Amino acid sequence: MTTESQLRADIVEVGRRMYARGYTASNDGNISVRLGSDRLLMTPKSVCKGFMTPDMMCITDLDGRKLQGDRDPSSEMLMHLEVYRQRPDVRAVVHAHPPIATGFAVAGIPLDRAVLAEVLTTLGSVPIAEYATPSTKELPEAVRKYIKAHDGMLLANHGALTVGGDVFGAYYKMETIEHFAKISLVARLLGRENLIAREEVDRLQGLRGTYGIASPAPICADPSDALAALESGDPALCQVVQAPEGGGQRLVADVIGDGPPSLASTERASYGARPPQPSESAGEIRLTYRELSALIEDAIRSLR
């Protein structure tokens, strides 16, 4: 069993990585791990996660009472406690504000499209928990709706939350969410996404067991299953993934004209983009190199 001193050191290292990668700024973010069956080791409030030391950590019980430590535990402690109540299998919780993933959370866009095979096999989908005032009882209530079925989620207008069997496992899932968000953003800026077909999603789900990846809930790529999950009021029935029928194809091109406008199609006007040419189909938007560069530069500026 990992010693307390090692767990303290692990939290410090994960906090350093989060800060170095820009997942947190100033005193943002918080980390916790189980310390035995009835105690938690948690980051303190009002401390930059990039400059913590092992002695700064707090020890609490599962009701949030501080048992040890010179500092007070994280102001987001209630959210952590709710995760541990709902998921006895979880050993660590990481909360951060990775910029691009948080941008999706602010835009109200969940990361639930079947785009990357690695994400489907490790996380399934990444939903958005409803907005709740940070550090209040509203936040654990919002997280409760999804935590039984998901190891990672976005928090509306707030950030992201991941869980794992240890603190590094939870942190790596945070990396995966931000990496997924970056790729999704670029694809949408380019004006299209090729989605993994529903039949291929089913195949990837079957590989979870082969890879030894434990999942809190199965993927439901069939619209009827997804609808049943949502109507039940308990999304824990499955992980809702948007995946079209392939008709024998493993990848299906997303047609912009059939759904909400992509970033590329909605932002073109602000850069004086030329109107669609007669040769362009209704489901295709072509960008010049200058137009694409301007879109990407604007997105980067907005994240700084």
**So which residues are the catalytic ones?**
76
Q: What is the per-residue DSSP string for the chain?
A: ---HHHHHHHHHHHHHHHHHTTS--TT--EEEEE-SSSEEEEPBSS--GGG--GGG-EEEETT--EEE-SSPBPTTHHHHHHHHHH-TT--EEEEE--HHHHHHHHHT--B-BS--HHHHHHT--B-EEPP--TTSTHHHHHHHHHHTT-SEEEETTTEEEEEESSHHHHHHHHHHHHHHHHHHHHHHHTT--EEEPHHHHHHHHHHHHHHT---SS-EE-SHHHHHHHHHTT-GGG-EE-B----TT-SEEEPPGGGSSPPHHHHHGGGGTPPPPPTTS-TT-----HHHHHHHHHHHHHHH-
